[in-house]
Amino acid sequence: MASKPSISFIGLGAMGFGMATHLVKQGYSVTGFDVWQPTLDRFKEAGGLTAATPAEAVRDKDHCICMVATAQQAQEVLLEGIDPAAPALPKGATLLLCSTVPCAYVQSLAKQLADAGRGDIALIDAPVSGGAGRAADGTLSIMAGAPDAALEKGRFLLQELADEKKLYIVKGGIGAGSNMKMVHQVLAANQILSASEGIGFAARLGLDLNAASQATLKSKGWAWMLEHRVPRMLTAPEFKPVASALNIIMKDTSIITSEAMRYGFPTPMTSTAEQVYFSGLALGYGPDDDSGMIRMYTEGRDKVGPAKGQVESEEAKLNLVTALFKGIHLCSAAEALAFAQKCQLDLDQVYDVCINAAGSSTMLRNVGPELMKVYRGESPAADEGLGDLTQQLQAAVEEAQRLKMPLYLGSQALNLIRLTLQHNPNSAEKTPKAMVARTWGC
Amino acid sequence: MASKPSISFIGLGAMGFGMATHLVKQGYSVTGFDVWQPTLDRFKEAGGLTAATPAEAVRDKDHCICMVATAQQAQEVLLEGIDPAAPALPKGATLLLCSTVPCAYVQSLAKQLADAGRGDIALIDAPVSGGAGRAADGTLSIMAGAPDAALEKGRFLLQELADEKKLYIVKGGIGAGSNMKMVHQVLAANQILSASEGIGFAARLGLDLNAASQATLKSKGWAWMLEHRVPRMLTAPEFKPVASALNIIMKDTSIITSEAMRYGFPTPMTSTAEQVYFSGLALGYGPDDDSGMIRMYTEGRDKVGPAKGQVESEEAKLNLVTALFKGIHLCSAAEALAFAQKCQLDLDQVYDVCINAAGSSTMLRNVGPELMKVYRGESPAADEGLGDLTQQLQAAVEEAQRLKMPLYLGSQALNLIRLTLQHNPNSAEKTPKAMVARTWGC
């Protein structure tokens, strides 16, 4: 144990607390800082040391991990707040920024450090994915970008925190890790909402929700997010305790759309999700678990007036729910991969990261490689028809219309597929699903 | 007066009552039917005659006007309800269906009449636009489609009800009038919601709403709907009395999207509006004036948590609101004209109808002719830059993001313009606004 270096850890929220206590369990001496005193008390009980300021936490520790919630918070604890960490870091220290922040922010942080004469600090852009459980187990997905020398210094920490198969070194240096995380969050942002939209639709169809969710989880509509959000909707109708708050995915969603706007890049799926999330905020759902977004689809059904569906059998209704998931997940996969191409990420690595993390879906797994060929300018292989999926998705949108309920993502996906078919009436016959990629322009 | 024929009038709602009493004032003997007795009493006071059933109303009258709310109601009063009208119509009678119904319905009505051996009835597909005030003044816009012989018989009635410059005979026979109305309603559906979105945005920006609405009405963001909805938002905060209920525009919105789905045609703007309207229904806004949709943008601002904009001057804020309107109205114009082309309507006539009715906007008026060239396969003329509008619209979407409020239509318009620019990076330099037309495929 004596050979393990001392670590400072700034930001002991849901993710940070798990990561820091995991390091304690691995035998590291970890000094934590957080603005919330009860969290510091809990960290002490878990075997950690605590500090009263960021500067105090990092003093004489050669390795610092920062896991605050936003770029603004990172800027405060590292540089601009009271007793910030960066000036107090020992010479040549390693600094892992694990928060999800815009690429532009972490690049500006590197510049600010250099401008302040602290170019000696080995900054690593290392956002994570996987949720609080995997954080505490040391089996996160980590997407790390940095110069080789910095990566060398920080590698042992990345290895402690990540699953050995899910530690990704992202080419492109500082900012590339954040871009990888951002692209992954395109899938997360859409699929967290699709869970609510799909199960909300199932509820309005009158399906037994336990049976419906079991069936869709076995279908091609599967997504990691469904597996994790749907049980929370069914078992915690108050949407507490919070596993991951709406406010958290909102923050990431806005990073995606604001970075996309900076590039002039269209994100019709994520932008739709973002607007719905904003409406959720105004309904007071921000602090609740993000699975509470199901209320956008289920509440107020007594107020809509007469509304009657046409689909009768349970099997046909289940098919509509599955088609809704498939259509949304196809379009969110296309948007994520198109944006990855725009950010000049390695598409093979993007795919590998995403199918092994919270953004995974059966549609991404099955259609992703063909979408990537389109983005690379290669010819996609012939694939199974888009016609069937389009018809089924349309049937879902039509039934929701009869029930007078919104399907924000579903109707957006249908329109995007229709735009594809308008532009590619012929080529769509042979490589239809892959052609959805063209909607984003490439 | 003796020379004026007797008229039967079925459906004395907000529009029908005005139309029927206008005919009374013009010296016609009008026999009305409605399911709501107080309305019949009012009609009697206004000089009308009344009947207890549709059949009784039409007996021995050579001309019947039907102005019920939906295709389902038309089917009941004309054919399938208790004592329906059609079998009781005199031989060779004229039947004006003025309700807004899908093209498919009025075509099926013609077939049902023929199949029932009543091919002698001169059916005219004659939906109207203009609101209750113009209905009562006999200055509606009317879009009439029918065989020439039927039009000949019914022309005097169309002329009584319409402004002389706003009576449009739509080529294509039965169904063409309904298609023209449907295309017009693409503009109406989007611009009713844009009024709420834009003024809701102005409210969240902290602008004085009277001054802001005056300024935007003088800008290129002008639309007929703004002029009519915004005063209601500002003076009737309970959104009563109802000039036009949310439930009414919802009905038309669903006609558009379901007909579009039948054609496999994308309507990304109208579909977005429809989903937001569905959320409005679930909040209980259905019976309220449609201007009450502003609450989707203004309510709950105390629940969103910390949110601060960056734009400070009143002028800059006003520019954002204007840009939002311009972006939405450009895209709703493109969608309406693209759908008109799909429905094989005469685009010049569509333009003429729309700029003289409730769907009008400055963007349609200015950019419409160039959009139409694209849909016709002609080369649009060079036009002013799309770059400025895109930057301004993006600035609006970015500011709304900081304020954590949704701009459903604004962010959709921005993404559609971005898709255009992705697909046409070069041609967009010379004819940028017209190129937005290509997003819909043509």
Domain harbouring A262, CATH code: 1.10.1040.10
Which residues of B238-335 form beta strands (DSSP E)? Answer: none
> Is the Cβ of B388 closer than 8 Å to some Cβ of chain A?
no
Cβ-in-10-Å burial (0-12, 13-18, 19+) of A369 comes to: middle
> Is the Cβ of A308 closer than 8 Å to some Cβ of chain B?
no
CB < 8 Å to A407, chain B:
275
Contact A406 B275 (CB under 8 A): yes
Q: Are residues B168 and B191 in the same domain?
A: no
CB < 8 Å to A421, chain B:
264
Q: Looking at CA atoms only, how far is residue B319 from chain A in angstroms?
A: 19
Q: Are residues A398 and A416 in the same domain?
A: yes
Contact A419 B405 (CB under 8 A): no
| % of chain A beyond a pLDDT of 90 | 87
Global pTM exceeds 0.80: yes
Contact B401 A275 (CB under 8 A): no
Q: Does residue B2 fall inside a structural domain?
A: no
Give the pLDDT band of residue A421 (cuts 50, 70, 90).
Answer: confident
Tell me, what DSSP letter sits at residue B80?
I
Q: Are residues A429 and A376 in the same domain?
A: yes
Contacts (Cβ under 8 Å, ≥6 apart) of A325: A194, A198, A216, A219, A221, A222, A223, A226
Q: In this predicted structure, what is the pLDDT of residue B441?
A: 76
The DSSP-derived string for A32-99 is EE-S-HHHHHHHHHTT-EE-SSHHHHHTT-SEEEE--SSHHHHHIIIIISSS-SGGGSPTT-EEEE-S
Contact A303 B296 (CB under 8 A): no
Contact B266 A411 (CB under 8 A): no
Q: Does residue A2 fall inside a structural domain?
A: no
Inform me whether the pLDDT recorded for A2 exceeds 70. no
Rounded CA gap, A131 and B27, in Å?
Answer: 76
> Is the Cβ of A91 closer than 8 Å to some Cβ of chain B?
no
Contact B261 A286 (CB under 8 A): no
> Is the Cβ of B406 closer than 8 Å to some Cβ of chain A?
yes
**Domain that residue A162 falls in:** 7-174
Do residues B71 and B259 touch, judged by C-beta distance below 8 A? no
Q: Does residue A384 fall inside a structural domain?
A: yes
Q: How many CB pairs under 8 A join A and B?
A: 147
Across A381-391, average pLDDT: 82
> Is the Cβ of A423 closer than 8 Å to some Cβ of chain B?
yes
Q: In this predicted structure, what is the pLDDT of residue A236?
A: 77
Contact B272 A271 (CB under 8 A): no
To probe the interface with A, which of B73, B271, B397 has the most A CB atoms within 10 Å?
Answer: B271
The length of chain A in residues reads: 442
Given A113, A146, A174, the domain boundary residue is A174
CB < 8 Å to A267, chain B:
415
| A357: helix, strand or coil | coil
Q: Are residues A40 and A135 in the same domain?
A: yes
Q: In this predicted structure, what is the pLDDT of residue B399?
A: 98
Do residues A174 and A106 touch, judged by C-beta distance below 8 A? yes
| Cα–Cα nearest to B408, from B316, B296, B281, B266 | B296
The length of chain B in residues reads: 442
To probe the interface with B, which of A255, A267, A270, A281 has the most B CB atoms within 10 Å?
Answer: A281
CB < 8 Å to B423, chain A:
423, 441
Q: Does residue A70 fall inside a structural domain?
A: yes
The HSE-up count of residue A130 (CA atoms within 13 Å, CB side) is 25
Q: Are residues A151 and A11 in the same domain?
A: yes
pLDDT tens, N- to C-terminus, chain B (442 residues):
457 999 999 999 989 999 999 999 999 999 999 999 999 999 999 999 999 999 999 999 999 999 999 999 999 999 999 999 999 999 999 999 999 999 999 999 999 999 999 999 999 999 999 888 999 999 999 999 999 999 999 999 999 999 999 999 999 999 999 999 999 999 999 999 999 999 999 999 999 999 999 999 999 999 999 999 999 999 877 898 888 899 999 999 999 999 999 999 999 999 999 999 999 999 999 999 999 999 999 999 999 999 999 999 999 999 999 999 999 999 999 999 999 999 999 999 999 999 999 999 999 999 999 999 999 988 888 777 788 899 999 999 999 999 999 999 999 999 999 998 887 766 556 667 888 888 887 6
Q: Does residue B355 fall inside a structural domain?
A: yes
> Is the Cβ of B82 closer than 8 Å to some Cβ of chain A?
no
Q: Are residues A93 and A73 in the same domain?
A: yes
Given B150, B174, B198, the domain boundary residue is B174
Which residue numbers of A are catalytic? 181
CB < 8 Å to B440, chain A:
419, 422
Across A122-130, average pLDDT: 95
Q: In this predicted structure, what is the pLDDT of residue A426?
A: 64
Q: Are residues B79 and B191 in the same domain?
A: no
The secondary structure element, H or E, covering residue B167 is: strand B162-169
Q: Which residue of A has its CA nearest to B406?
A: A275
Contact A305 B418 (CB under 8 A): no
CB < 8 Å to A72, chain B:
none
Q: Does residue A334 fall inside a structural domain?
A: yes
Q: Are residues A219 and A336 in the same domain?
A: yes
Nearest to B278 among A405, A423, A440 (CB): A405
Q: Looking at CA atoms only, how far is residue B182 from chain A in angstroms?
A: 17
Q: In this predicted structure, what is the pLDDT of residue B387?
A: 82
Q: Are residues A186 and A330 in the same domain?
A: yes
> Is the Cβ of A172 closer than 8 Å to some Cβ of chain B?
no
Q: Are residues B273 and B348 in the same domain?
A: yes
pLDDT per position as a tens digit, A86-123: 999 999 999 999 999 999 999 999 999 999 999 999 99
The HSE-up count of residue B84 (CA atoms within 13 Å, CB side) is 12
Q: In this predicted structure, what is the pLDDT of residue B1?
A: 45
Domain harbouring B30, CATH code: 3.40.50.720
Six token digits for residue A137: 């187990």
Do residues B71 and B112 touch, judged by C-beta distance below 8 A? no
Q: In this predicted structure, what is the pLDDT of residue B240?
A: 86
Those of residues 235-274 in A touching chain B at CB distance below 8 A are 247, 250, 254, 257-258, 261, 264-268, 271-272, 274
CB < 8 Å to B254, chain A:
401
Q: Are residues B26 and B140 in the same domain?
A: yes
Contact A299 B286 (CB under 8 A): no
Contact A419 B440 (CB under 8 A): yes
Given A174, A189, A207, the domain boundary residue is A174
Inform me whether the pLDDT recorded for A1 exceeds 70. no
pLDDT per position as a tens digit, A288-324: 999 999 999 999 999 999 999 999 999 999 999 999 9
> Is the Cβ of A397 closer than 8 Å to some Cβ of chain B?
yes
Cα angle for residues B120, B125, B128 (degrees, 5° grid): 145
| B122: helix, strand or coil | strand
Contact B401 A440 (CB under 8 A): no
Nearest to A419 among B266, B304, B407 (CB): B266
Q: Are residues B284 and B417 in the same domain?
A: yes
Q: Which residue of A has its CA nearest to B408?
A: A275
Q: Does residue B235 fall inside a structural domain?
A: yes
Contact B268 A416 (CB under 8 A): yes
Contact B268 A406 (CB under 8 A): no
* Domain total in chain A: 2
Within a 10 A sphere around the Cβ of A310, how many other Cβ atoms? 10
Rounded CA gap, B267 and B264, in Å?
Answer: 10
Q: Does residue B417 fall inside a structural domain?
A: yes
Rounded CA gap, B74 and B105, in Å?
Answer: 10
